[in-house]
Amino acid sequence: MPHPTIGPADLRDLLRCRYGRDVGQVTFVPAGEDSWAFRSDDLWISVRRDVRGHIAAAYEGARRLADDGLDFVLAPLRGETGEVVYEVRGTPVVVFPFVPSEPLSARPPDRREADEVRVALTRLHEAVVLPGLDLPRERFSFSFDRDLDAAALRAEEDQPPSGPFDLPFRALYRRHRALVASLRAEAADLGARLVVRGNPPVLTHGDPSAQNWIRTHDGIRLVDWGGLALGPAARDHFHLARTMGAAGGDDPEALAFYEIRWRLSEIAEYGSVFAAPHEDDDESRAMWHRLLRYLPGDVPAGGKAGR
């Protein structure tokens, strides 16, 4: 759905004032979950949503990696002041070159592409940690613990629904309350063991899934760098295994931790969405169906989610 306050006119002003680009048309593109996307000629403009927090240093890191020769990094462009992130109406905006492409998720990668992905990810993990850049470091804890606590509390409350998927979410959470508690306990145990190990971290992308690798005319590129952080290589290997069936590295405890974190983070995010005012629209229905991958259940009988 379009951004509630930022429109094409705002982004034309940004491109003119910060990038020296006078463009005629900026068009909203209904794509993505963690951003609002717009297209203007050879530019792709990403108005960030970043539910778990926006990290400007991650985009600066991607730009530096590309400048240092990691040619698979599709990095944001610098503006005339040298920055890669600007704010429009208090919301961070990042501008990328538009590259005609398709995601690897559109069709399974062949052996050459799979090898290219593995080599690229190895190059990232072997890259020198970027000096002077305050990137997040893996602490093996959950930034969304409060969201899970809020979902558990809301599931037991008797209050008017915030929207058509609120009550169904509460019922779904109650049904799987023990499962969620068990996953949280297992993740806490795994995280404590990984902290004790204290293995040196590497640069990791955070979500190198099939949706974020794209085929272009000159090879494979990796997009969506907002999660760049220091951590174990398993932080990335998990997503290769999850979306491409690729080998998941050799750290089963770390892989298990990231599998649980992914599942719980999705539950926490959709719980937050359905606790807030929302409508029975395409976006809400798509979120509900994704939630059912992690908490199996039915489409709400009172809504139109099955359309």
pLDDT tens track of the chain, all 307 residues?
Answer: 889 899 999 999 999 999 999 998 999 999 877 899 999 999 999 999 887 789 999 999 999 999 999 999 999 999 999 999 999 999 999 999 999 999 999 998 998 999 999 999 999 999 987 888 999 999 999 989 999 999 999 999 999 999 999 999 999 999 999 999 999 999 999 999 999 998 899 999 999 999 999 999 989 999 999 999 999 999 999 999 999 887 667 799 999 999 999 999 999 999 999 999 999 998 899 999 999 999 987 656 444 443 3
Q: Which residues contact 122 (CB under 8 A, 6 or more apart)?
A: none
pTM of the model: 0.89
Q: Which helix (H) or strand (E) holds 219?
A: strand 219-222
Question: Kindly report the CA angle at 241 between 236 and 243, in degrees rounded to 5?
Answer: 95
Query: How many of the other CB atoms lie within 10 Å of CB of 141?
Result: 12
Cβ proximity of 47 and 64 under 8 Å: no
